[in-house]
DNA sequence: TATGAATGAGCCTTCATTCAT
DNA sequence: AATGAATGAAGGCTCATTCAT
């Protein structure tokens, strides 16, 4: 067992500490000194392992985005065995539970939301590496649900409706206690949300399908 | 007419410059010197007019949130003359067009989204002064749409579904060119979005109403 | 009497302190903290007044080179009233006494010599502003002394011989106590040196003139 | 042959790389990491081989000064077979060509000049090991040339005149392209310089000898 | 013999703020 | 009402060095 173990190496401790600090104070508001102290490491260790503060920030973002990627990989592999409604449910669930899973460090979700609200150079990587693929997956699901078939714009609008409902909880998480007092975001609550979003969206789409296929205008 | 009435007073120029800077670099990333220079004012002017940097930030946020409040006031006054579907449409429109209106300074929306992604003490004021009222308004509309009547939780879930779809475009604005290449956010595009969200949501609710009122499933 | 008095202003104190420090430890070896402390000023004052450390360094060099420029100006104005041998003596004296004058801060000479031994961007300014003019002046004197007239190269070589003898004492000043133990560089000593260099050079040139003008080869 | 014999040992590569770096940026301005990288060695190798950064610097200076010492040794051994004018020429040539020889790494000369402009503890070694002997040699030559004999001071002054003319080119090398545009410092140019300095100095001394030996002025 | 990881001290610079005017 | 000068604290980063291997 060498010191490069990914478990508790200086590098890994820095990543975790940085995640917390960046999520708490933002990139500019988080001093590298505080990060290194929380990681029980030297200030110079950051530059040694990551080059500079921003490269550390990028690495932290990657760490956060990768965490939930497993769920989507699994979903992709099960695509053939699940019907389209199940895949919609799976997508929403992956995003929502993958994002708010109480087992996941809180800062993952917040940091990603902050980066999306104020995108920097790092977002490019996140996008090409993960976000764009996820959105394509959702568009595929939605396009299968829309019958009679929809044009590109309509698919996009429906995909955004599903995505918007889901991301709302991730992006509003900081405000949820204030907005929805009494609502608990435990596993149970998350499944309630998932079920609602799926049912709400499927209902809207079914209604749309019925309307379009009706003979009159 | 004193100089404090002037629309172009130092104080106002500072507010505008600060809005741009804060939106561009975040609170910690925007140096007061850059703000004062962009406002063509002295560094000390900020502390003179606002006390300190954070109070300036709060003032800027208030400026941004107040800008769109007129639309909601109008909506409230028209409540009696509009049917509930129109009020839903009006709410979505107020939020979406009020947020992305090309005539509005770009930083308004971005800054508010950033503050919501990473809430500070200033959010409290925003919430009690504006956000909480808006959400209550939406809940009222949704509760009227839900028939048979829904319990508190279901109202909230439906309100969140509407709100989530709408906020999605505000909060993703920075990423929209990348996510939805070719989509134009001009007045026309905004109305398309508004119409879709309203139709999608109404369809989902109607379907729900039908399902619930059915003697059994 | 305002605070911008050139006498004892923060800016001037910084220049003097920086001169000493840079001369003592070199540009890279002199911490700005030490400079500001010696100047009884804040660290930030350096960046406020000069922009950055290197611009301070350039200003210090200019201060040093300007100090002696008066002597050369005077020499230029007297050019018509002095014969050429006197002007040669004047030139050597201006350089030597202007450089080692005990009334002059010691660091002036050392710092200029250091910059010449390891030229940076700042030397360009020194050269165009002062050095090149001085060398032209010396070439003019030497060319008048050379009779029969000399070509460009020969003038240059003779000018370098005069200049080299003179600069030797400036550039070796740090080593003089070791090389020439017992030699005092007071006003008296400097005039002895000046006289020697002038006599030595004139002798060499006269001998050269005689040799060239001799009919045989 | 052990690895420490090798001309391309880590130790030697460090010396060469350090010479370049120190000459380029000065002692304080040259980071050990850059040196070790240029030498294709580990950072710790410097401390391992030399103890610390300054000891490396001293070693580099010694390397530079030793390079030219062979010429002077040869000159000393030939002392008996050459007349005094030839020995003067030889001395100047050793210094000038030994210093500016295009075959020699450029940094040798520059680094020595820098150390002389800003002497540190290392200069002591250089002085006792080399410089003082060279100066003594020149004084001996000059004293033989001065006839009628001169006192100590006069010998010193004349030696400094010869030395100053010669060192001028070494110490001004960085500025020569700017001062003497078009002058080429190839082997041919160096011999031109050597010949001029020797002739100039001999002429001055002959004239002096004539003047002194004249019954009166 | 030689190294990659890690360190504490120090670097220059910039920060938001204050003060005398 | 407003400002230019100045400040102490803190910023991110780099330094020469050390240590376990």
Judged against a pLDDT cut of 80, whether residue A8 lies above it is answered with no
Q: Which of helix, strand or coil describes residue C46?
A: helix
Confidence of residue C214 (pLDDT cuts 50, 70, 90): confident
Half-sphere exposure of D32 (CA within 13 A, CB side): 16
Instruction: Please report the residues numbered 22 through 41 in chain D whose beta carbons come closer than 8 angstroms to any beta carbon of chain C.
Output: 25-29
Q: What percent of chain A has pLDDT over 70?
A: 96
Q: What pLDDT is recorded for position A6?
A: 54
pLDDT tens profile D72-88: 999 999 989 999 999 99
Q: What are the chain B neighbours of A114 within 8 Å (beta carbons)? A: 114, 117-118
Please indicate whether residue B9 or residue A116 has the higher confidence score (pLDDT): A116
pLDDT tens profile C124-153: 999 999 999 999 999 999 999 999 999 999
The count of residues in chain B is: 217
Say which residue the tokens 């708010």 belong to: A100
Judged against a pLDDT cut of 60, whether residue C6 lies above it is answered with no
CB-CB neighbours of D5 under 10 Å: 8
Closest nucleotide to C47 by C1' from CA = E13
Which chains pack against B, by 3+ Cβ pairs within 8 A? A
Q: Which of A165, A189, A198, A208 to mutate to test the interface with B (most CBs of B within 10 A)?
A: A165
Judged against a pLDDT cut of 60, whether residue C178 lies above it is answered with yes
Which strand (E) or helix (H) includes residue A175? none
State, as a whole number of angstroms, the distance between the CA of B8 and the C1' of F2: 16
Interacting residues of C13 by C-beta distance below 8 A, sequence separation 6+: C39, C40, C41
Q: What pLDDT is recorded for position A1?
A: 34
Confidence of residue A141 (pLDDT cuts 50, 70, 90): very high
Both structure tokens of A158: 């429906």
Confidence of residue C7 (pLDDT cuts 50, 70, 90): low
State, as a whole number of angstroms, the distance between the CA of A33 and the C1' of E21: 39
Cβ contacts of A49-56, under 8 Å, gap ≥ 24:
A49/A10, A49/A11, A49/A14, A50/A14, A53/A27, A54/A27, A54/A121, A54/A122, A56/A14, A56/A15, A56/A18, A56/A32
* CA distance linking residue C110 with residue C122, whole number of Å: 15
Residue ranges and CATH numbers for the domains of chain C are 3-64 (1.10.10.60), 67-213 (1.10.357.10)
Which chains pack against C, by 3+ Cβ pairs within 8 A? D
Judged against a pLDDT cut of 70, whether residue C212 lies above it is answered with yes
* CA distance linking residue A131 with residue C159, whole number of Å: 73
CB pairs under 8 A between C and D: 143
Q: What pLDDT is recorded for position A3?
A: 38
pLDDT tens profile D88-136: 999 999 999 999 999 999 999 999 999 999 999 999 999 999 999 999 9
pLDDT tens profile B143-193: 999 999 999 999 999 999 999 999 999 999 999 999 998 888 899 999 999
Q: What pLDDT is recorded for position B5?
A: 46
Judged against a pLDDT cut of 50, whether residue D3 lies above it is answered with no
Q: What pLDDT is recorded for position B7?
A: 62
Asked if C193's CB is within 8 angstroms of D157's CB, the reply is yes
Q: Which of D114, D131, D206 sits opposite C207 (nearest CB)?
A: D206
Closest chain D CA to residue C30: D28
Instruction: Please report the residues numbered 73 through 92 in chain A whose beta carbons come closer than 8 angstroms to any beta carbon of chain B.
Output: none
Calculate how close chain C gets to D114, using CA atoms only, in Å: 5
Range in A117-121, B145-149, C174-178 the model is least confident about: C174-178
Residue at minimum CA to C1' distance from nucleotide E20 = C3
pLDDT tens profile D186-203: 999 999 999 999 999 999
Arithmetic mean of pLDDT, B181-210: 95
Confidence of residue C88 (pLDDT cuts 50, 70, 90): very high
Asked if A28's CB is within 8 angstroms of B183's CB, the reply is no
Which chains pack against A, by 3+ Cβ pairs within 8 A? B
Quote the distance between the C-alpha of residue C157 and its chain's center: 19
> In the 8-state DSSP scheme, what is residue C131?
I
Q: What pLDDT is recorded for position B182?
A: 84
C123 contact D CB<8A: yes
Tell me which nucleotides of strand E come within 7 A of a protein CB: 1-20
D204 contact C CB<8A: yes
Confidence of residue A127 (pLDDT cuts 50, 70, 90): very high
Confidence of residue A7 (pLDDT cuts 50, 70, 90): low
Q: What are the chain B neighbours of A133 within 8 Å (beta carbons)? A: none
């Amino acid at each position: 067992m060498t010191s490069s173990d990914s478990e508790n190496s200086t590098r890994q401790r820095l990543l975790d500490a940085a995640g917390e600090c960046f999520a708490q104070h933002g990139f500019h508001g988080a001093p590298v000194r505080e990060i290194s102290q929380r990681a029980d490491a030297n200030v110079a260790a950051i530059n040694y392992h990551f080059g500079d503060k921003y490269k550390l920030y990028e690495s932290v973002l990657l760490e956060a985005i990768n965490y939930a990627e497993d769920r989507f990989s699994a979903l992709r592999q099960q695509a053939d065995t699940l019907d389209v409604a199940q895949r919609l449910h799976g997508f929403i669930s992956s995003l929502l539970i993958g994002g708010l899973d109480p087992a996941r460090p809180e800062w993952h979700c917040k940091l990603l939301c902050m980066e999306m609200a104020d995108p920097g150079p790092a977002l490019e990587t996140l996008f090409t590496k993960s976000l764009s693929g996820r959105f394509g997956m959702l568009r595929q699901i939605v396009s299968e649900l829309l019958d009679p078939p929809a044009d590109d714009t309509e698919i996009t609008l429906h995909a955004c409706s599903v995505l918007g409902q889901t991301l709302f909880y991730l992006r509003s998480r900081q405000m949820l206690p204030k907005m929805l007092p009494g609502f608990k975001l435990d596993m149970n609550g998350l499944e309630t949300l998932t079920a609602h979003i799926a049912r709400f969206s499927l209902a809207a789409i079914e209604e749309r399908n019925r309307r379009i296929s009706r003979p009159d205008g």
